[in-house]
Amino acid sequence: MKKRLIKLVSVLLMLAVVSGLCACMDEFDDYDDYDDYDNGYEFDYDDESDDEYDDEYDDESDDPSEAADGKDVSSDFDADQYPYFAVLGSKEKDIYSLLYDGLSKGSKKIDCQKANANEEQLTKAIDAVLNDHAELFWIDNQYEFTYDSDGGIIEDVTFDFFDFASTSDKLNDAKAAFEKAANDILAGIGSQQSAVEYERAIHDYICKNTAYDESAPYNQSAYSVIVLHKSVCAGYSKAFQYLLNKKGITCYYIPGTTTDSNIGGEDGAHAWNIIYLDGEYYNVDVLWDDSASETLEEDVYPFFNLTDSAFLYHTRDNLAQSLPKCTGTKYKYSNYFGKTVEVEELEFEDAA
């Protein structure tokens, strides 16, 4: 969903503007609950295993605590760093661990039988893995799974990878390019005095070096921003998450919707971030700050480090609703860095 910032409504700032403020992730379907939630993925319900995948990525392990190479699967994810894992049930955590272990090693097909889980639990686990792990940037928004038609127990899941990761050699090259680009970004930012100053520097880098483009390839991945520099809200948010986490700063990816009659009265899928600073949580929307700055032709930070009550137009979806509430005020931009345009001073309408 695309929105246009039309004016500032502050007494001091009455400017007519025309640039677009974009709520994106248009390829994600609306959903009400996990019974029909597909997170933008396509499913193939099949009672038999799908043989059309690259054998190079096979994971034939029968033990949910053991990968194909015989090593233990990761099963302990720190709740502060991986909050979506923390809110899952026990079977969902088992699938999450299997999926993360396989995907992080480049496996496309992952055996899930020993987890003894159903479709809903699988869907939640996949959602949690992809929300927690922006570093898994090569996963396309499609997967297929097979299940036991009698009990509905998931047998295996096969993911699509982007074309730049269609073989293990290509994936290794993509990982190297992605890591180099991320390191170059952080090196260019240089040393900062505090976590919030790193946050602003990374925020500003993404805003100044990324073009909003709904047709951008891989736009649900951090790769689209860090390597290609064009994306939509999902790419902005995952790149922000990845770069901050790489600096040791806790940052979460938040899927949700923009919902308010003041911006058109229509729900639209969107994504943003939560950051943890000095024991408190804050909301930040890098894309909307970027769009507001472009519209006003100056750097502004209306959506930088806000409480839930101040974070207008945003509503979390599904698992994200269980993540910590944002109540911090110390590091709101105008409280810490100085005057900026505030979210209350903005007004929006549907863009053409």
**Tokens, residue 247:** 């600096």
- CB of 237 within 8 A of CB of 251? no
- State how far Cα 307 lies from the chain centre: 20
> Are the C-beta atoms of residues 126 and 41 closer than 8 Å to each other?
yes
Q: What is the pLDDT of residue 14?
A: 24
| DSSP symbol at 170 | H
Return the structure tokens found at 266: 């229509």
| pTM of the shown model | 0.81
Q: What string of pLDDT tens digits covers the 352 residues of the chain?
A: 334 444 444 322 222 222 334 444 333 333 333 333 333 333 333 333 333 334 443 443 334 334 434 445 556 799 999 999 999 999 999 999 999 999 999 999 999 998 999 999 999 999 999 999 999 999 998 899 998 888 889 999 999 999 999 999 999 999 999 999 999 999 999 999 999 999 999 999 999 999 999 999 999 999 999 999 999 999 999 999 999 999 999 999 999 998 754 555 567 899 999 999 999 999 999 999 999 999 999 999 999 999 999 998 999 999 999 999 999 999 999 999 999 999 989 876 544 4
DSSP helix/strand/coil, 123: helix
For residue 295, give the nearest of 22, 11, 12, 1 by alpha carbon: 22
CATH classification of 2-27+168-350 is 1.10.1420, yes or no?
Answer: no
Q: Report the distance separating Cα 107 and Cα 245, nearest Å.
A: 24
Domain boundaries, the chain: 2-27+168-350, 45-162
DSSP string, 261-307: GGGTS--EEEEEEEEEETTEEEEE-HHHHHHHHHHHTS---TTEEE-
Q: Tokens for 142?
A: 């499609």
Residue 348 CB partners (closer than 8 Å, separation 6+): 3, 4, 5, 6, 21, 262, 263, 264, 313
Amino acid in position 285: D
Cα–Cα distance, 166 to 125 (Å, whole number): 24
> What 3-state DSSP class applies to 312?
coil
Cα–Cα distance, 316 to 329 (Å, whole number): 20
Alpha helices in the chain (DSSP H): 83-86, 90-104, 119-132, 168-189, 195-209, 223-226, 233-246, 286-296, 333-336
